[in-house]
Amino acid sequence: MLSKSKRCLIARLLQTTKLSLRAIGRTTDCSHVTVMKTKKVLEENNISWQSMETMEEVKVNVLFFPNWPFRNVQKIKPNMDDVIEFISKPKQTKRNAYYQIYLPTCPDGAAYKLTQFYKFIREHEGLIKLSMKINHNAGEIAYVDYSGTQAPYSPENVTDPLMASIFVSTVGVSSYIFIYATPRQTTRDWIEAHVAMIEFYGGVPEIIIPDNPKALVTSSNPEKILNKNYEVFGKWYSTNILPGRPRKPKDKAIAENGVGFITNRIISNMLDMHFGSIEAMNQYLLSECKKLNSEKFQKFSTCRQELFERIDKPMLKALPDKPFELIENVYEMNVPTDYCVLVKEHYYSVPFTYANKPVSIHVKPKNIEIFYQGKMIAAHTRSYAIGELTRVFEHMPPNHQYFEDKDIEHYWEWAEVYGEYAKKVIAAQFDCVHKKSRLANDRCRKIIKLAESSNLSNEEFEKACEFAALYNQMSPTRLRDVIASKAYDVDLSDVNSLVQIPFSNKHLRGADYYNSH
């Protein structure tokens, strides 16, 4: 069949020259019969050679072959919309199943052969299954996935080699690649790889698009529900987790392409290599990753590293102050009336205003975090002391704060107003084993009450404490006697003044009592 350009040349020669049919045939390298048929078609359809040049090749072919592209008009073409609908049904992928339905509908010899039937399907799918070129914004989306090919490693004292899973991610306009090996594909492994990815990029993308593994997405129908750890991870880094649609790999085609690229370039070579640990494998992957990112594209004059530094990296969000800590357990419970929750055999306090309210408790390796309606209301350093209590002073109501056993620093702050001797009197009460002694706290509260009720100035109370410290009379009772007798005002060098010191204790009778009897 002649091409469009040759038919246009024949038409131009026919309409602009006086050459014979044979001469035109020799010029265009075709028979004079073909030239004659072309002349007939042009005259019947009243078409000039200029208009023919503007027509699509398909329409030009239809002018000369009305049934094009089919030459045998006796054949019956299947209804392609019905074919595509049939093979698109769930669990129905065999195309020859519809061919067996198509054959009985055609008279003998009117059905196309199986090869031509498959060709029709490919051509029709090429029209309806178009690919959309996605315009990626700078640093906006990171696509993540695991490679289907695993790499072996052999730790010490292990006979058979273990298989490591290879995590792959690409980001933004640059398609910047990151590779990381993990022992498996659990939630912990996914998040560990995510954290390593973010640190490698030096920033946080606005969106992360994973697949729908059970380790990350607990439910995808009808609404996607993320694993609790993965959800908290997204909030920690202020990024949005948008899993791709199930069975729609084109949603993250850039990640699928990256996985295939990494598998061919790196993982296939690792199958014959020896690694003693996951850490050694990740060191190798990091070096290979840097090499790949520094290689120029086949169709561009730059490389991934240069594009990333210039376009993507400036648009990434800043990293948080601390890396994400994985959640071991999540507990839901009501706060008791004592505003302390029991977690892993240890008690932790929450603000008293949340007593009798439901809270969510996140147990981490180093911390305990308590949330109410999504808001963190308390955070404690995790303790493994069984049966003990970790309580924040501010979590208590004012009346409980007064009776809370405190350490010596709390009372020293109060004694600072009076002076050094007041601090010595306080220190004497804490001459015991326990840092927050119940007995010492009781004595210190009595001393504070004594200072407030005695109506002494700060200087007078300091003098009373000096007297008590000098003569080792620092118990609350003895200090009360010193204040009541005003012994701190007596001139110790005057012997006569010593006789005039009154006795403040009602149980002391004195010499006069015995002289009268």
Express each pLDDT in 224-271 by its tens digit: 888 888 988 998 999 999 988 877 767 777 888 888 889 998 999 898
Using omega within 30 degrees of 0 as the cis cutoff, is the peptide bond preceding 104 cis?
A: no
Q: 296 has which bridge partners?
A: 303
Domain presence at residue 74: no
Whether residue 206 is found in the same domain as residue 307 = yes
User: What are the tens digits of pLDDT across the range 428-475?
Assistant: 888 887 888 888 888 998 998 988 888 888 888 888 898 888 888 888
Domain span including residue 28? 4-64
Give pLDDT, residue 111: 85
Between residues 324 and 183, which one has the greater pLDDT? 183
Residues 369 and 445 in one domain: no
Residue 92 has pLDDT above 60, yes or no: no
Task: Provide CB contacts within 8 A for 75, sequence distance 6+.
Answer: 110, 111, 112
Predicted confidence at residue 93, as pLDDT, reads 56
In the chain, the amino acid numbered 229 is N
Return mean pLDDT, the chain. 86
Mean of pLDDT values over 64-87? 74
Task: Determine the Cα–Cα distance for residues 147 and 269; give it in Å rounded to an integer.
Answer: 14
Question: CA–CA separation, 415 vs 413, rounded Å?
Answer: 6
pTM over 0.85: no
CATH of the domain at 176: 3.30.420.10
249 compared with 477, residue with greater pLDDT: 477
150 and 43, same structural domain?
A: no
Judgement on whether residues 393 and 475 belong to the same structural domain of the protein: no
Q: How confident is the model at residue 500 (pLDDT cuts 50, 70, 90)?
A: very low
Strands 207-209 and 217-219 turn out to be unpaired
Give the Cα separation of 412 and 78 in Å (integer). Answer: 95
Mean pLDDT of 494-499: 48
**Collapsing DSSP states into helix, strand and coil, what is residue 489?**
helix
| 450 contacts 429 by C-beta, under 8 angstroms | no
pLDDT band at 75 (very low <50, low <70, confident <90, very high): confident
CA proximity to 197, closest of 319, 327, 325: 319
Give SS3 for 219.
strand
Helix (H, G, I), strand (E, B) or coil at 372: strand
Are 262 and 181 within one domain?
yes
Residue 451 within a domain? yes
How far is it, in rounded angstroms, from Cα 456 to Cα 195?
A: 62
Residue 509 CB coordination number (10 Å)? 11
DSSP alpha helices (H): ranges in 21-167? Answer: 21-28, 32-45, 49-54, 57-64, 80-87, 95-102, 114-128
Question: Cα separations (Å) of 187 from 76, 167, 435?
Answer: 55, 13, 43
Beta pairing class for 346-349 and 329-334? unpaired
pLDDT score, position 104:
86
- Last-in-domain residue among 347, 366, 400: 400
Rounded to 10 degrees, what is the CA torsion of 351, 355, 357, 360? 50
CA 120 to chain centre: 46
Q: Quick check: is 72 in a domain?
A: no
Look at 401 and 395; give whichever has higher pLDDT: 395
Do residues 277 and 199 both lie within one domain?
Answer: yes
54 occurs within a structural domain: yes
The predicted pLDDT at position 454 comes to 86
Domain assignment present for 324 = no
Which of 350, 377, 400 finishes a domain? Answer: 400
Task: For residues 466 and 460, give the distance between their C-alpha atoms in angstroms, rounded to a whole number.
Answer: 10
**Residues 181 and 298 grouped into a single domain:** yes
Do 276 and 224 fall within a single domain? yes
134 is a domain residue: no
In a domain, 424, yes or no: yes
Looking at the domain assignment, is residue 211 inside a domain? yes
Total structural domains within the chain: 5
Both 420 and 482 in one domain: the answer is yes
Whether 203 contacts 239, CB under 8 Å: no
Q: Which residue has the higher pLDDT, 500 or 318?
A: 318
Regarding whether 122 and 51 lie in a shared domain, the answer is no
pLDDT of 503 above 50? no
pLDDT digits (tens, 9 = 90+) for 287-320: 999 999 999 998 889 999 999 999 999 999 999 9
Q: Do 338 and 419 belong to one domain? A: no
- On whether both 173 and 303 belong to a single domain, the answer is yes
pLDDT > 70: percent of the chain: 90
Tokens representing 190?
Answer: 């996914």
Q: How many CA atoms lie within 13 A of 177 on its CB side?
A: 31
